[in-house]
Amino acid sequence: MQFSSALLENAVNEFAKLPGIGKKTALRLVLHLLKQEPEKVGLFGEAIIKMRREIRFCQRCYNVADADICSICSNSMRRQELVCVVENIRDVIAIESTQQFSGTYHILGGIISPLDGIGPDQLHIEALIQRVQKEKIEEIIFALNPNIQGDTTIYYIQKKLQSYPVRVTTIARGIAFGGELEYADEMTLARSITNRLPVESYVSNR
């Protein structure tokens, strides 16, 4: 790609560093910004700079926050004794979007994956154990991706929690709503049968 302006080229190169953005898309976005009023583009740039400079991580659950403690942890309407353990911030956003969970979270910042060189010490596992020690937590709900690394992480943390009087559960894994049994993979179908539910709780949760 040939540019007659180094400023334009620089902006395109910066956009192209974003995930899923190729050079062509980057150029389209930059040209779009070029058509806008400078003030509007200024607001766009400021929002990004301010976000990166001022965002913090909750000292309790490691969620993104505008203060030392995030808005979920500091909300007295949330059930503080219920902690949902997730891999990353995107998982929190996904669960929050369901509007079905009224507890709090704990973000591990990844999952145990020896092949990728990620061990328990690189994750916020110790901080979770400390929360269980200090706070009146009644239940830890694991909402990790259903794969080997997710299961390894659950197993590791669950062993560490054994000596504490806390209920440890995991989100149900089963057939997707609207899906068809014959197309479900064997592992999912097997788990759905093993973790079957009484019909009363299935009906009442609909």
Within 10 angstroms of residue 159's Cβ, the number of other Cβ atoms is: 9
Counting residues that bind Zn ion (by CB under 5 A) gives 6
Cα-Cα-Cα-Cα torsion 194, 199, 202, 204, nearest 10 degrees, comes to: -160
Least gap, CB of 57 to Zn ion (angstroms): 9
* Residue from the set 11, 30, 73, 123 that interacts with Zn ion by CB under 5 A: 73
- Residue 70 sits in the site that holds Zn ion (CB under 5 A): yes
- Of 30 and 137, CB closest to Zn ion: 137
Q: N- to C-terminal Cα distance for the chain?
A: 54
Planar angle of CA 84, 87, 89, nearest 5 degrees: 85
Least gap, CB of 115 to Zn ion (angstroms): 30
Within 10 angstroms of residue 61's Cβ, the number of other Cβ atoms is: 24
Interface region with Zn ion, contact rule CB under 5 A, candidates 71-79, 131-139, 169-177, 185-193: 71-79
- Residue 128 sits in the site that holds Zn ion (CB under 5 A): no
**Residues 31 to 60 in contact with Zn ion, rule: CB under 5 A:** 58, 60
- Residue 63 sits in the site that holds Zn ion (CB under 5 A): yes
C-beta pairs of 115-123 under 8 Å, 24+ apart in sequence = 120/156, 123/153
- Of 80 and 149, CB closest to Zn ion: 80
Chain residues in the site for Zn ion (CB under 5 A): 58, 60-61, 63, 70, 73
